[in-house]
């Protein structure tokens, strides 16, 4: 999966449980949801996302989880959200939001049965269960 060019600035990833998945058509620049985890192994998480192989998209787009990619505390725009990615593990779609997102990145597919996808979903579920 392709990531925005600002991905190398990410130092913190916020794991989000999406609260209104059926309202996705109203989202403009942020994904609504409850923070279920803060992952400081941001580049490891983004490597999982970058390693997601493409798939064929189906139609539902009912995302359950998202990531918010933040800059680090020592950077010029400390704590700024660079981009967000909402994942639907049912229809194989990942939708990107944020100023760093170009049109060719905005809508992508991934194989939810791939090893990186299974690991990402495991992390999401583990974070949500520990809340």
At residue 76, the pLDDT reads 66
Give the range of the structural domain holding residue 105, as residue numbers without chain letter. Answer: 5-129
Enter the tokens of residue 130.
């520990």
Q: What pTM does this model have?
A: 0.92
CA distances from 55 to 80, 90, 112, 121 (A): 31, 12, 8, 16
At residue 78, the pLDDT reads 74
Contact between residue 40 and residue 12 where contact means Cβ atoms under 8 Å apart = yes
At residue 84, the pLDDT reads 95
d(Cα 34, Cα 32) in Å, to the nearest integer? Answer: 7
9-64 pLDDT, tens digit per residue, is 999 999 999 988 787 777 877 889 999 999 999 999 999 999 999 998 778 889 99
| Domains: count for the chain | 1
d(Cα 89, Cα 86) in Å, to the nearest integer? Answer: 10
At residue 9, the pLDDT reads 92
116-125 pLDDT, tens digit per residue, is 999 999 999 9
Task: Tell me: pLDDT of 69 over 80.
Answer: yes
């Amino acid at each position: 999966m392709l990531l925005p060019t600002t991905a190398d600035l990410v130092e913190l990833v916020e794991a989000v449980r999406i609260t209104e998945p059926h309202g996705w058509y109203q989202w403009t620049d942020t994904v609504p949801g409850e923070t279920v985890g803060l992952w400081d192994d941001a580049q490891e998480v983004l490597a999982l996302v970058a390693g997601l192989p493409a798939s064929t998209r189906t139609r539902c787009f009912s995302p359950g989880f998202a990531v918010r990619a933040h800059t680090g505390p020592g950077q010029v725009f400390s704590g700024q959200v660079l981009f967000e990615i909402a994942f639907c593990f049912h229809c194989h779609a990942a939708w990107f939001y944020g100023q760093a997102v170009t049109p060719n990145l905005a809508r992508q597919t991934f194989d939810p049965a791939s090893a990186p996808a299974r690991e990402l979903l495991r992390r999401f579920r583990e974070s949500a269960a520990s809340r």
